[in-house]
Structure 1
Amino acid sequence: MSTSVYSRYRAAFAQALAGALGVPAADIEPQVKPADPAHGDLSFATFPLAKAQKKAPPAIAAQLAQALQVPGLEVKAVGPYVNARFLPLPFTQEVIDGVRLAGLAYGSDAEDGKGKTVVIDYSSPNIAKPIGFHHIRTTFLGHCIANLYRALGWRVEGINYLGDWGKQFGLVAVGFQEFGKEELREDMAHLVQVYVQANKRAGEDPAFDEKAREFFRRMEAGDTEAMKLWNQFRETSLKGFKRVYARMGIDFEHIEGESRYQGKMDAVIDQIAKKPGVKESQGAIIVDMPYADGEPPVLLKKNDGSTLYATRDLAAAEDRHARFNFDKSLYVVAQDQALHFRQVFRTLKEMGQPWADKCVHVPFGRIHGMSTRKGQVVELDQVLDEAKERVLQRVKENVAQGNLETTDAEALSEQIGLGAIVFGDLKHNRASDYTFDWDEVTSLEGHTGPYLQYAHARSANVLRKGGGVPTAYDPALLTLPEEQALVRELMRLPDTVKAAAEQYEPSLVARLLLDVAAAYSRYYTAGNKDRDKRILVEGNDAVRAARLALTDATRITLAAGLTLLGIPTPENM
């Protein structure tokens, strides 16, 4: 397993401290923390040692600092802390060479998850409905988490688990029979209109609602005519879905739905009947296990004999373990479904499944305030269209003003628009709600996708102006405070990728990229005030080459991180 530059220095510092204190390094390493940047890079607090040594913490720190010699680190006592700072060499060269050698694989570690499998259930739209704005979070979060695990060497089985079964399909079917136009049978937009009309009618007309229920019962019974109509509408929906996913650069290992488990649920219910048991409640079949006060029971079958989400999710979990023998099975589904997944996982555990603890609900908060110029957002496609439209206006203005050169303003605007929407979501902590704001997400300034894409394009442009990527450079020439600060940000990506995967938290990568872009911006603009600090400094080819090497490492880090997030990386903006 490869180790990041940061981890190597941290481990060496902990080892030296452990040797001086006569304790195992494993006891010390968790106590080594990032230092206040003004005083170093790593820090060890001596307060816990005071009682045993009967000395004041500052005295202990001073004695330890004097005793330590760690290659590549400058060790000093700062009050009660033993701090270590990375020496410019070999640290600077290790980071830059590591980034450039890895290329777009920087931040990855193919050995970390070698031999392990993760199943990720995400996106999961319902057939005969569009992929709506409410699918943004599950789709983008799931796609990024899949990318993170792939980067760490895991075998990823991404599943788009379609809502292609249930009474809602009965509504589409009987709605089409009443409102549909035969010549538009394969038109996704028409199916959506039919569903909206049918849903409204069902709320007003109990007899129509019962017809939808009856159609679903026919489906569960395997009725030939019902299943033929279901299959036609499912294929129409899939074509529409695949076009939107292709636009976002998202691909799934598996596209399958609840229908996969039709005919297999009685076997699951029989298995549950043996352990922990089932019982009847008001004509329905429920899992017989203790429930908290006020907790609804786990329903397996309704009194009309039809199955429910829980039944299908239990069947799906068993099927996925049998197919993939997973080490983790993640469900990237809204926080609203927390009780559902707690009960499904608990049922699996009560059934005696030893892998039940490997199933994890990855919840997320809600988006508020998202709307388009046409009114309330319905389709994700509309959101992407509007993002592109807003960006296109700015791109055309910049081209007209001579601030931007592009041969395809439409394609560039599509990339920037997608980056705006994706990053606008992923920069937020997964569990938190956030309010969507068009002006904010499409801005070239601030914490936005276009700002990061611009930082990447700027670094690429500097390299073009500088004559390309230097093959040789002298890292000893990169001594400016702005350069050392930037190198420290580049260093963080490998550890951040691991933390983001472990916590299912893409926002960690998003925030790091903002830090990288900000550090590069400070470095770039420092040259506006002092010509000697310019990246393309004149009169000193060696310094220029070193600064171009650092710029190349910055470009690669931004490109690698943005790619993990699922964001395009234009070379010119």
Structure 2
Amino acid sequence: MNPSVYSRYRTAFVEALAQNLGVPASELDSQIKPADPAHGDFSFPTFPLAKAQKKAPPAIAAALAQAIKVPGLEVVAAGPYVNAKFAPMPFTGEVIDTARAQGVRYGGGDVGTGKTVVMDYSSPNIAKPIAFHHIRSTVIGHGIANLHRALGYKVEGINYLGDWGKQFGLVAVGFQEYGDPARRNDMAHLVEVYVKANKRAEAEPAFDERARDFFRRMEAKEPEALALWKEFRETSLRDFERIYARLGVKFEHMEGESRYQDKMEPVIEELAQKVGVKESQGATIVDLPYAENEPPVMLKKNDGSTLYATRDLAAANDRWDRFHFEKSLYVVATDQALHFRQLFRVLEAMGREWTKRMVHVNFGRVHGMSTRKGTVVLLTDVLDEAKARALEKVQENIKAGRIQTNDPDGLAEQIGLGAIFFGDLKNRRTTDYTFDWDDVLAFEGHSGPYLQYAHARTCSILRKGGGAPASYDASLLTLPEEQALLRGIARLPVVVQEAAEQFEPSFVARWLLDLGAAFNSYFTAGNQDRGKRVLLEDNDALKAARLALTDATRASLAAGLTLLGMATPEYM
């Protein structure tokens, strides 16, 4: 894929400056910043040159602006800055044509071609429900995976299931006490059993010991224990797959900690040889220097059973062997920061040079979640309530004539899911946020429904205008509102690149909000000035140009929403 229009002009500006100053372009690249919109699109500060040239920065800027000529850019000095502004042509036509030609793929690139990114995200526990708190890892991971796919990377998304450990023993012994054999394949019943068993284990040490013993039997590969484990695991997987299908989230691999039950002893043996292990209160730990009050990396408990640190070490080795990744990302809550620092530290001590390619992509917590039923546990409850609330709004808007749809139920599902996704992804991933139903489901403001409505509105305008034109005159698009909208569209490829580099889907979410606002300003400008309307009745050439810009906006909104995992309704 060719460089984006925005990047191409930026590169030309950098190279022109570098040639004039007699320095490599790489030395100047990081100094080029977005300009104040009133003065241009790119800005280069001349302060660093003042000492060497023995001139005042404004004088240097004036001389540079006079000397530099970049086709398609207007270069001017503004005090100590050299600013470059897109000339209306050919920029206007290039942006519109690129967005329309690439459609939902707009914003992508090929920097990742031939490279693999391994992603560990979502990762619920077997025999437990997918709770709402899993939404962050799921939608952030899905967004980051989409960003990398758009840039040409091969993504190996792994749903690393918690399917090995004492919690499974709780389900097993709980089922012996509380289970209904006729409902053994019912995920909801397994959840009921787990809740009762967990509560009893907290109050009754002997019952907790029975759960631990069952897990020891699993690790000892007792056929009866493994058969029950496999049966309950498959029940959980069926339920998980139903929920992921509803979310539109797909993984290349559904594999759990159980994959490594035969690969942990070799890891412990290698650690003993290369790093050192020792006994501590009957447990096996990695012999590393630890900070004061830092808990040690435990490989085995005093009863001989393994821990998830042991399994994560085995998993990291396995993923390198299988994929030889460019990046290995763990999309896991900030609460687990110590675990991943220690995991990477142990791998480095083992001589794994590829550890530097591993990243803990951490995220904050969600506060304030509740449903009409009260405090929520199940993600399914949240999705059902989002759809129900969205359906109320859809039906209200249908009655008021603001929404047209032949499938209000399907539209409500798209809006409800989009509201949940965007309500999360508009926040920086490392921050906590407070969930608010009115906020996420608003049809105006910083919300998913607002952006889906903006996309539907572009589709409606195109339908009323007779469709997107095959040909148009880009030079007619000179309004400030049109040029502002074009600049928003042009930025998406840059935003996608930055979002992937920083593992930050919120960059795309914020860009969508800016583009939605720019389009809204453009479209509503016609309410005050008939000459600014898109669907002009007395100027076919200008109407065609504005419809082409509307079509480019539609494609850009669709591309951004799709990157975030959201539906793009055409009627709303």
Cα offset, 1:323, TM superposition: 1.1
Q: Structure 1 vs Structure 2: percent identity of aligned residues? A: 70
Q: CA deviation at 1:2?
A: 2.6
Q: Give the corresponding residue for 2:137.
A: 138
Amino acid at match of 1:4: S
Matches for 1:331-410 after TM superposition, within 5 Å: 331-410=330-409
| Distance in 2 separating the partners of 1:420 and 1:42 | 34
Name which of structure 1's ranges 476-485 and 401-410 shifts more when overlaid on structure 2.
401-410
| CA distance in 2 between partners of 1:366 and 1:312 (Å) | 25
- Corresponding residue for 1:443? 442
Distance (Å, rounded) in 2 between the aligned partners of 1:264 and 1:44: 55
Equivalent in the alignment of 1:160: 159
Deviation at 1:263, TM superposition (A): 2.1
Report the secondary structure of 2:92's partner residue: helix
Query: How big is the shift at 1:461?
Result: 0.4
Q: Which amino acid aligns with 2:467?
A: G
Normalization by structure 2: what TM-score?
0.99
Deviation at 1:394, TM superposition (A): 1.1
Q: Equivalent residue for 1:70?
A: 70
Report the TM-score when normalising by structure 1.
0.99
Q: Deviations over 1:317-340 (max 9, x none)?
A: 111111111111100000000000
Q: 2:416 is matched with which residue?
A: 417
Residue 16 of structure 2 corresponds to residue 51 of structure 1: no
Show the counterpart of 1:31.
Answer: 31
User: In the aligned structure 1, how far is the partner of 2:181 from the partner of 2:89?
Assistant: 73
**CA distance in 1: counterparts of 2:400 and 2:295, whole angstroms:** 63
| Aligned-partner Cα distance in 1 for 2:552–2:165 | 52
Mean Cα deviation higher: 419-428 or 255-264: 255-264
User: 1:515-559: per-residue Cα shift (whole Å, max 9, x none)?
Assistant: 110000000000000010000011100000000000000000000
Partner of 1:230: 229
Q: Distance in 2 between matches of 1:499 and 1:56?
A: 34
Amino acid aligned to 2:67: A
Counterpart secondary structure, 2:429: coil
Counting only pairs closer than 5 Å after superposition, residues 153-552 of structure 1 correspond to structure 2 as 153-552=152-551
Deviation at 1:5, TM superposition (A): 1.1
Query: Could you tell me which residue of structure 1 aligns to residue 93 of structure 2?
Result: 93
C-alpha distance in 2, partners of 1:152/1:29? 21
**Displacement, 1:149?**
0.7
CA distance in 1, matches of 2:179, 2:467: 60
Report the Cα distance in structure 2 between the residues aligned to 1:112 and 1:66, rounded to whole angstroms.
35
Q: Secondary structure at the match of 1:372?
A: coil
Q: Which amino acid aligns with 2:189?
A: H
- Distance (whole Å) between structure 2 residues aligned to residue 23 and residue 119 of structure 1: 38
CA separation in 2, counterparts of 1:29 and 1:157?
A: 32
Deviation at 1:25, TM superposition (A): 1.6
- Cα displacement (A) at 1:402: 2.4
Deviations 1:483-518, CA, capped at 9 Å, x for gaps: 000000000111111111110000000000111100
Instruction: Give the AA of the match of 1:419.
Output: G
Contact 1:10 1:29 in 2 (8 A): no
**Paired AA for residue 193 in structure 2:** V
CA distance in structure 2 between the aligned counterparts of 1:162 and 1:28, rounded to whole angstroms: 46
* Gaps in structure 2 of 5+ consecutive residues: none
Cα distance in structure 2, aligned partners of 1:79 and 1:10: 21
Task: Letter of the 2:76 partner, please give it.
Answer: K
- 3-state SS in 2 of match to 1:376: coil
Question: How far apart, CA to CA, are the structure 1 residues paired with 2:345 and 2:533?
Answer: 61
Q: Residue type matched to 1:171 in 2?
A: L
C-alpha deviation, 1:401, in angstroms: 2.4
Whether 1:11 aligns to 2:11 is: yes
Greater alpha carbon shift after TM alignment, 402-411 vs 326-335: 402-411
| 3-state SS of 1:297 partner | coil
Distance 2:276 2:40 in 1: 60
Q: Which amino acid aligns with 2:194?
A: Y
Instruction: Return the letter of the residue paired with 1:343.
Output: Q
Could you tell me whether the CA contact under 8 Å between 1:314 and 1:344 is conserved in 2? Answer: yes
The separation in 1 between residues aligned to 2:24 and 2:252, in whole angstroms, is 44
TM-superposed CA distance for 1:453, in Å, is 0.2
Aligned residue type for 2:61: A
Q: Provide Cα deviations, 1:351-403, integer angstroms capped at 9, x if missing partner.
A: 01121111111000000001101011101111111111011011111212222
User: How far apart, in 2, do the equivalents of 1:359 and 1:475 lie?
Assistant: 46
Q: More deviation in 556-565 or 66-75?
A: 66-75
What letter corresponds to residue 265 of structure 2 in structure 1?
D
Alignment gaps of 5+ in structure 1? none
Alpha-carbon distance in 1 for matches of 2:321, 2:28: 42
Residues in 1 aligned to 2:25 and 2:263: alpha-carbon distance in whole angstroms? 53
